[in-house]
Amino acid sequence: MASLAGLSRRLARAVPFRPLRWPLEEPVVAFTFDDFPASAAENAAPALEDAGMRGTFYLASGLIGARENGQQIASLAQVEALSRAGHEIGAHTHGHIDVQRTPAEALAADVEDNGLAIVGATGIAPTSFAYPFGIVSLRSKRALMTRYLGLRGIAGGINRGTIDLAHLRAQELYDSTSSGFIAALLDRLERSGGWLIFYTHEVCPDPTGIGCTPAHFAATVAQVRRRGIRVETVAATLGRIGATGAAP
C-alpha cells in the first residue's frame, strides 16, 4: 500500500490534469503563505503593502486562533483585515488534512466547510487552493481540480510553457533559501518568463525550518521590486491567464 501511495503522489505531480499554455510575456511573482501563522499577517503583509504588493494567504479555517507546528495561527480578525486590504484568502482545507489519506466524502465535506468559512470571513469564495503538506495524489487531485481555478503544490521551479493548473509549481522561501539562489531564480524568470510562486509559513524572528525571518522576507520583496517584476495574488494571475474551474 505504501508503494502504491508513493506512486500515486509521483504520478499526480508528473501528469498534468489541467494543462494550460502559459500566455503572458511578462514575468509574474506571487508570495504565498500556508496555514497561515499570525506572524505572516503581522510581518509579511505590511512588507508587501509598503511595496505596493499583495499576497495570497492559504487558510486552514479549522486552525483559526489555534497553534500549529508551534506557531500561533491567524485570528478571524486578521483574516478579515487582510481581505479588506486586498490580499487573497485561499483555500487550504478546513482541518489541515492529508488529502491523500482522507476518504472522498470526508474530503468533499472538509473543503466545503473551508470554503464556507472563507466566504463568511471575506465575502469572497476562494478560487485558489494549496495542498496541505504539499501532498497530492491522483484521486485527490481529480476530486479537487474542478473546485478551484488553480491548485498549488510544493514542487519547485517556475511555471512556464505548459503549466498544470491542478498542480502549480512553487518555490520555498525559508531562511535556508539563500539570497543568491533567489537572485539566480529571478534572473531565470526575467530571462525566460513565467510565473514564480514563493511559499512559506511563519515570518518571525525565530522561524522553524519552514518559515523565514522578517528581514529575509523583506530582502526578497526588495529584490523583486528593484527588478520591476509584477507581483500579484494567485487569484489575480489566474484571472489574467483565463483559468477556468472546469477540467478540460
- pLDDT digit of tens for each residue in the chain (248 aa)? 557 677 677 777 776 779 999 999 999 999 999 999 999 999 999 999 999 999 999 999 999 999 999 999 999 999 999 999 999 999 999 999 999 999 999 999 999 999 999 999 999 999 999 999 999 989 999 999 999 999 999 999 999 999 999 999 999 999 999 999 999 999 999 999 999 999 999 999 999 999 999 999 999 999 999 999 999 999 999 999 999 864 33
Whether the CB-CB separation of 165 and 149 falls below 8 Å is answered with yes
Q: Is the pTM of the predicted complex or chain greater than 0.75? A: yes
**CA separation for the pair 132, 128 (Å, rounded):** 13
The reply to whether omega before 57 is within 30° of 0 (cis) is no
SS3 for the chain, per residue? CHHHHHHHHHHHHHCCCCEEECCCCCCEEEEEEEECEHHHHHHHHHHHHHCCCCCEEEECHHHCCCEECCEEECCHHHHHHHHHCCCEEEECCCCCCCCCCCCHHHHHHHHHHHHHHHHHHHCCCCCEEECHHHCCCHHHHHHHCCCCCEEECCCCCCECCEEECCCECCEECCCCCCHHHHHHHHHHHHHHCCEEEEEECCECCCCCCCCECHHHHHHHHHHHHHHCCEECCHHHHHHHCCCCCCCC
- In one letter, which amino acid is 105? E
Distance separating the N- and C-terminal Cα atoms of the chain: 30
Task: Give the position of cell 489519506.
Answer: 101
What pLDDT score was predicted for residue 12?
72
Whether the CB-CB separation of 30 and 197 falls below 8 Å is answered with yes
Residues with Cβ within 8 Å of 15's Cβ and at least 6 positions away in sequence, in order, are 138
What pLDDT score was predicted for residue 1?
54
144-147 long-range contacts, CB within 8 A, separation 24+: 144/99, 144/107, 144/111, 145/17, 145/18, 145/247, 146/245, 146/246, 146/247, 147/91, 147/111, 147/115, 147/245
Residues with Cβ within 8 Å of 178's Cβ and at least 6 positions away in sequence, in order, are none
**CA separation for the pair 43, 85 (Å, rounded):** 14
**CA separation for the pair 44, 39 (Å, rounded):** 7
Whether the CB-CB separation of 91 and 131 falls below 8 Å is answered with no
The residue count of the chain comes to 248
What pLDDT score was predicted for residue 2?
59
